[in-house]
Structure 1
Amino acid sequence: MIKKIIVSICLLFSFALFAQEGTSSPYSFYGIGDIKFKGTIENRSMGSLSVFPDSIHINIQNPAHFASLKLTGLALGGTYGNTKSKTETQEAKARRTTLDYLAIGVPVSSKVGIGFGLIPYSSIGYKIQKNIYDIKSTTDINGITHIDTIGAKFSKYTGKGGVNKVFLGFGYRLTKKINIGADIQYNFGTIETSNLRYQTLPLLQYGSRETNVSEVRGVNVDLGITYQTKVNAKYSFFSSLAYTPEAELTLGNTRNIDIVQVSSSVSVIERENIAVEDTKIKLPAKLTFGSGFGEVKKWLVGAEITLLNNSVMSNRFTDIQGATFENSVRYTLGGFFIPNYNSYSNYYKRIVYRGGLRYENTGLVIQNKSMNDFAANIGLGMPLSGTFTNINIGLEIGKRGTKYYNLVEENYINISVGLSLSDKWFVKRKFD
């Protein structure tokens, strides 16, 4: 029965993945969009900290953690996001509900674990309208000023799509203290952007629209190692290192120029296909190192640093201007606390309380200004009685960018809910 439930969830997740718009940020126009994945709900609630080798929760930020699994598990997470975007003169609000990841982890033996799943890695989603009015003022002989609009031009920019990852990984317990692991990821997706322009004063019957579509394909790998040791009979030290080598995505590009008529909807009058070259975008090399200290099944405090070689990134087309990329860094500080994980009389003592901070330079540079992102996280891991299953809830409050220099500041609140379903599988029955 549980296998049928998992198959149904996988199918539902796949259908929803292709229908969702994962972001509302104008910054997603550049590169391959907003990088959305920052770990499972458990990790994100600690600021994306990933150093802890949990035996029942799937950690997909470092494949070496698969070797720590003691139970077969399914992890599923989604987010409701509310973003207020503002400039020096305007404000806008947007809401999004997205599915963030689906992963399954299986302990093959006492030393080997495998994991596989699907991750919506990056998202493009924006709708921007720019209006230009030409104003003329005249004064008649009575001294009364008349203001006339002599021209009204409109530009609408839209984008949707993104890059998804299917991954397969394994972890191996090299010694009692050291795990190693690797995974392979297949990247795929479709990115579509358009620019619609038309004029109403003086009235022009037709407008124009440029549409660019990119089919994204590519493969990359992740490598990882973790270390865990007892400091004394009570406390433990944890450390992890994950490395993603530089990889390359191939983009099959098409471009259409349409003559359109704009009313309550947009009707295509004539279309011309423009030949554009296929392009390649590099995925930057990434190095993540972190350490933590704590008491197993009680509490943990850890810190992590991630370095990305984002300077190798580029835009999808060579004629996209206005942005460059630089090497970036992310700092994470977080942890968790469990009052009493095996308490039978007080449910609240079994809840996992999580918190963390995250600060990063995203690597995107617009008008010589680096786009920085800062967020604070808290979360709860609520166990279901009599099982190893947990419902995880996380709250993230953050800010990205700036409203000055003709840029956009994004203030966001994300509420995430995840299911971590763990159980023993492949156990031979003694009785039928």
Structure 2
Amino acid sequence: MIKKIILGISLLFSTVILAQEGTASPYSFYGIGDLKFKGTNENRAMGTVGVFVDSIHVNLQNPASYSFLKYTSLTVGGSNTKTTFKTDSQKETADRTSLGYLAVGIPLGRAGVGFGLMPYTAVGYKVANTIVDPEDGLPKSKIFKGEGGLNKVFLGGAYKINPKLSIGMDINYSFGGIETNSIVFVTDPAIALGSRTKNESTYSGFSATMGLYYHTKLKNNLEWSSSFTFSPKSNLKSDNTRNVSTVTYSVTGTEFIGEGTDIEIADSEFKLPSKLSFGTAFGKSKKWFVGTELTFQGKNDAASQGNIPNLGYEGAARFAVGGFYIPKYNSFRNYFDRIVYRAGFRHENTGLVVNNQSVRDTSMSFGFGFPVGTSISNINLGFEYGKRGTTSNGLIQENYFNIHIGLSFSDRWFVKPKYD
């Protein structure tokens, strides 16, 4: 019965993941949108550190971790994000709720497999400004809108070379569509005429992530872990269409879009840079853990982005530190002693340069892992407060607060019972 319920949850979550608006950020205007974090809510609560591996949780950041599983595990998670957007003169707010991942990990002796579905990028913006056209002297408004994003399915495997060292690989398939609209119209009510250009792009492509994971025991019941992952460069194929049409506005401001004209536009490729991550951690089993992780990503190919004024790219980098503490994991008298208490910090250079200003992202997080009864499953709740961007050089500053909630189900699904 439990397996049927979990299967139903999986189907529901996979449907919702494919149809959601995952961001309201103006920075999703660039490239293929906001890159989503590939990790669980447990990782987010520890500043995105993904070095920790155990026998009951699926680690989505390092495929080499699958071979450390001893129980079949299903994990799902989502989040609610409240964001305040600030410029030198304006302030706006937005609220988005989205599902973050659905994944399963299965132990196979010295090996293990993992597979799942998650958002890869998200696009969701609406930006407007008013200018005076130097050619005709008329005041004109420009509106830029975008929506959509890409999803990712992955299948991976891992193998323990020896009890301490494991290797693994994920094969990822990314797919999805992005629609952008740019509308230019004269703001004079006597004219109320403009034009709209709609671009639609459908993306698809394969990529890979390779991982190593090392874990050993030290003196005084301490443990040391080290994690390494690498994703080589890859390409996304983009099928593109463009439609140009007229736009008129009624006295009440209602928008009417006329019959458009399709313009032939060549298909293209979007080049994704390589990515390297390594981390290390110390801890005591089922008691405490402290880890740090560094991630580096190559410079985006500007030619893949089109000719966008005041836009540049540089290598991206992320530093994260975090950990957890469990007062007494096997306590049955005090439930709070079995709760996992997590916290972390993250600082990131996103690699995006706008108006000669690097866009940076910094956050602090904390969270809790609540055991479900006497089982090894748990509910994970996390909170994150951060800032991306700045109001300098005409940029937009985003102050955000995320609430993450996830479920981790673990059981021996494929063990044949001895008795009927």
TM-score normalised by structure 2 residue count: 0.95
Determine the C-alpha separation between the residues in 2 that align with 1:256 and 1:105. Answer: 44
**Larger-Rg structure:** 1
Deviation at 1:12, TM superposition (A): 1.5
User: How many residues are aligned here?
Assistant: 415
**Structure 2 contact 269–304 (Cα < 8 Å) conserved:** no
1:196 to 176, 183, 208: 183
Deviation at 1:204, TM superposition (A): 1.8
Q: Give the 3-state SS of the residue equivalent to 1:27 in structure 2.
A: helix
Distance 1:265 1:427, change over 3 A: farther
1:156 to 140, 143, 147: 143
The corresponding residue for 1:124 is 123
2:336 to 344, 348, 373: 348
Map 1:391-406 → 2, pairs under 5 A: 391-406=379-394
Distance 1:345 1:77, change over 3 A: same
The corresponding residue for 1:138 is none
**Structure 2 contact 38–60 (Cα < 8 Å) conserved:** no
> What letter matches 1:428 in structure 2?
K
Deviation at 1:133, TM superposition (A): 7.5
Residue 288 (structure 2) pairs with residue 299 (structure 1): yes
Residue 166 (structure 2) pairs with residue 167 (structure 1): no
The corresponding residue for 2:307 is 319
> What letter matches 1:242 in structure 2?
T
Q: Percent identity?
A: 48
Map 1:230-249 → 2, pairs under 5 A: 230-249=217-236
Q: Give the 3-state SS of the residue equivalent to 2:317 in structure 1.
A: strand
**1:73-127 deviations in whole A, cap 9, x for unaligned?**
1110101000001110111100100100000111122x11101000101111011
> What letter matches 1:292 in structure 2?
A
TM-score normalised by structure 1 residue count: 0.93
The corresponding residue for 2:79 is 79
Determine the C-alpha separation between the residues in 2 that align with 1:105 and 1:155. Answer: 48
Determine the C-alpha separation between the residues in 2 that align with 1:18 and 1:193. Answer: 18
Map 1:95-110 → 2, pairs under 5 A: 95-109=95-109
Determine the C-alpha separation between the residues in 1 that align with 2:183 and 2:14. Answer: 31
In structure 1, stretches of 5+ residues that fail to align are 135-149
**Structure 1 contact 85–410 (Cα < 8 Å) conserved:** yes
Deviation at 1:390, TM superposition (A): 0.6
Determine the C-alpha separation between the residues in 2 that align with 1:262 and 1:74. Answer: 51
In structure 2, stretches of 5+ residues that fail to align are none
The range that moved more, 251-260 or 195-204, is 195-204
Deviation at 1:314, TM superposition (A): 4.8
Determine the C-alpha separation between the residues in 1 that align with 2:58 and 2:70. Answer: 10
Residue 274 (structure 2) pairs with residue 275 (structure 1): no
**Structure 1 contact 152–202 (Cα < 8 Å) conserved:** no
**Structure 1 contact 31–314 (Cα < 8 Å) conserved:** no
The corresponding residue for 1:361 is 349
Determine the C-alpha separation between the residues in 2 that align with 1:24 and 1:424. Answer: 41
The corresponding residue for 1:146 is none
Deviation at 1:38, TM superposition (A): 4.2
Distance 1:174 1:311, change over 3 A: same
Determine the C-alpha separation between the residues in 1 that align with 2:219 and 2:394. Answer: 55
